[in-house]
Structure 1
Amino acid sequence: MPACSKGRLTRILGASNNSKFDSFANSFQMRIDWDYLATHLAAVISKAIVTKYYSVEIRYAYHLELLTGCRQSLVEAQRYPEDFNGVYATAPALNETGVTTYAITSNVRAVLLDETNFTQAITVDNVRVIKEAVLDACDYLAGLKDGVIGIPRSCHFEIDRLAFSARHQNSSSCLSRTALEAAKRLYAGPVSSITHQQLNLEGVLPGSESVWPGTYVAQTEGGNPGYCDFAVSFLSHYAFWPDPAEEVTSFTINLSEPTLLARTSKTESLEYTGMADMSKFQQLGGKVIMTRYFRCTELCTRPVSSP
């Protein structure tokens, strides 16, 4: 949505993790329109609407977003440097197709025992126990006990201490072996079954537990975590070109397939060129502010196996 104040236009764009990609099925032109033209045309049309409605000349235009929208900000500055005077980019989801293919697949597998009955490996109550343990172990690391893990990569809490024991089998502050292993898989991230190497640089970070319910973990028993449907739509109708002949789910895709990243390369080339050339944007006086976001490891890290 655009916001206008004293001749300044701020364009806030982005894509939700609940997005459906069914409309992209078997259409490479749709991918081109979305990845290469959508943000640019939104900027052009927004400026025209604001200028007409307010009867003012837009002197400055800015793009603010995070994750997918953040990548749009940076790519927009490279491809269409005249569109904005500045971008505020939080946790850019660079190389999104390759990373998301690994990340969402790994995360759905981590929290579900199967995709047929949506049998949960971990529950919202389990997440509460984990979150409390993480805060208890690492809340002080940044020098302030405020309920926020300020330095997540320095948090090394011992999750095995939460396992059920013979003395505390019914304790609400413990995890079953199934839930414990599910949490470990989330923190570890995707690993090749062939080489046993990390496919992403890392998994989710300690301190991210607040966003697990609804995203990775179903809110209710027998429910469907948000990433599950997203994964099916993304893998079946967007990530690969040409589209797979049959529907792809997180349980049918083979993350250890050596050519997997090559099969996502066409889509990646549209959404991000891999070249961070901001010279024209700089010559036009453009400014960039980049910040980090605690969920960055879901989409922002580059696959280890990627060239």
Structure 2
Amino acid sequence: MNQRPRVIVTRKLPDIIETRMMELFDCRLNLDDEAMSREELIAAVKEADVLVPTVTDRIDREVIDAAGDQLKLIASFGTGVDHIDFQACKKRDIIVTNTPDVLTEDTADMTMALILAVPRRLTEGEQRVRSGEWTGWSPTGMLGHRIWGKRLGIIGMGRIGQAVARRARGFGLSIHYHNRNRVYEDVEQELEATYWSSLDQMIAHMDIISINCPHTPATYHLLNRRRLQLMKSHVYVVNTSRGEVIDESALIEALTQEQIAGCGLDVYEHEPAVNPKLLKLRNAVLLPHMGSATIEGRIAMGEKVIINIRTFADGHNPRDRVIDTMF
């Protein structure tokens, strides 16, 4: 590849990253930070050597099929790659990279914040103060539930799941997990984590459930209506992974009928659209997909994108190349 490949970036990135990209590559930036339309994405892949998309860009088969022969790398700005049709890229010999590891601690922090916020009704209390509804302290006012001594079930015990477990132990939670593969014994011992081979059995015994697995065809609607009905009525569900992992309609039904106690969501099934029924629920804490939104995290993501592009342009295999086993 040309040492100054034509790089098209679909969204605005931190200034320091954009400046470095302009120095290194023949780069076209999105200074307005408006998500590209489908027509703009198709136009971009027809001329780019490297496309730098984000989770807001749906890079499906139609977009890939429209790409010119010069497109050889999609260096995604983000950890998840479920917005990219990997098989279509593989067919066209287009390499896909992502930015793993750098968002682990930020996302785990946000997960822990939701684990605290939902049972303790933090956002509901903040809204009462701002609206003027709060009239003073009361022995029975704003009662929530303590999390100390409760069981936390983590779905997906990868880097983020383990980081959540480390935080949760400090708050006195008992750690349980379900994962495609059991983690190493020394990790289990460090986290004092109990492995459940059956997801159904685990969720039926938990007080709080945290979703930290990626969205793949195998995890689509992993928490469906049947599994939500297996849960205890006092359970809280937290999702900082991908909205598609939960059947959102079934979740709303469970919350409305008080089959479960509450939820904390940073992601949504039809993002950026949020189901209006969710907005009306007092037992739902809703955030705008900000789990990884730290300055440090975004800069680290951009640095990884740059390294991936430079490595590939130099004729080497990028370290963060996405492989088949992720799908």
TM-score by length of 1: 0.28
Using CA pairs under 8 Å that are at least 6 residues apart, name the structure with larger relative contact order, 1 or 2. Answer: 1
TM-score by length of 2: 0.27
Higher relative helix content: 1
Higher relative strand content: 2
